Amino acid sequence: MNFLEERILKDGQVREGDILKVDSFLNHQVDIALLEQIGDAFYEHFKDRGITRVLTVESSGIAIAYPVARRFGVPAVFAKKARSMNLDGDLYTSIVHSYTYNVDNVVTLSKQYLHADDCVLIVDDFMANGKAVQGLLDICRQAGASAAGIGIAIEKGFQNGGRLLREAGVDLYSLAIVDSMDADGTIVFREH
């Protein structure tokens, strides 16, 4: 069991609707030492890929992107969630449906911060159905940038985002894959 899986078992809480609450260390209060371990782990996995930018989507993805980008010595850039379609032309935009919140978000990124010669590592705190990641891949495609891989802290393996990406040949590296979780607090991780 790795450091993140141990921490999830210690401090994570299973909530109704298959929600794993990790607010005490990952996406409300943030444990910086743990995030740096995540940065190190992603660096080890992707270090030979020529990464030039780390890309995520606001808001909790930013905390993950920071230590990863610092480790690679490249900029972290985050797509923003816009509330209206009234956007100016210098943006890449993609529509991301959130299953968890049942809303469509428009995610945007200024064309200034992603270019055709970029080699991108996409990171996020959670992946469920993978729609946020698909939106970021779409933005990379629009920019003509190559997506070298995806680093996810916690993947919900019982939803299909990870399976679809792996079947498409994407290098998806998730530190903790939750295969099942019960209301009584039992969490089962996929074997590495």
CB of 151 closer than 8 Å to CB of 45: yes
| Per-residue CA distances from 56 to 50, 60, 76, 121, 142 (Å) | 18, 9, 8, 9, 16
Residue 155 within binding range of ligand G4P, rule CB under 6 A: no
- 149 or 161: CB nearest ligand G4P: 161
Which residues, in sequence order, are CB contacts of 145 under 8 Å at separation 6+? 53, 114, 115, 116, 117, 118, 119, 120
The region of 64-72, 87-95, 112-120, 125-133 touching ligand G4P under the rule CB under 6 A is: 125-133
| Per-residue CA distances from 169 to 31, 56, 116, 166 (Å) | 32, 20, 21, 5
- Taking the complex as a whole, the smallest distance from the CB of residue 109 to ligand G4P amounts, in Å, to 15
Residue 128 within binding range of ligand G4P, rule CB under 6 A: yes
Residue 22 within binding range of ligand G4P, rule CB under 6 A: yes
Residue 27 within binding range of ligand G4P, rule CB under 6 A: yes
The region of 15-23, 87-95, 164-172, 182-190 touching ligand G4P under the rule CB under 6 A is: 15-23
Q: Which amino acid is at 72?
A: F
- Name the pairing type of β-strands 103-110 and 119-127: unpaired
d(CA 107, CA 1): 34
Residue 2 within binding range of ligand G4P, rule CB under 6 A: no
- Name the pairing type of β-strands 103-110 and 19-21: unpaired
Cis peptide before 59 (omega within 30 of 0): yes
Q: Can you tell me which of 19, 34, 74, 187 binds ligand G4P, judged by CB under 6 A?
A: 19
Q: Can you tell me which of 7, 51, 60, 94 binds ligand G4P, judged by CB under 6 A?
A: 60
Tell me which residues in 61-120 interact with ligand G4P (CB under 6 A).
61, 98-101
Q: Can you tell me which of 67, 149, 151, 161 binds ligand G4P, judged by CB under 6 A?
A: 161
Residue ranges that bind ligand G4P, judged by CB under 6 A? 19-22, 27, 57, 59-61, 98-101, 125-132, 156, 161
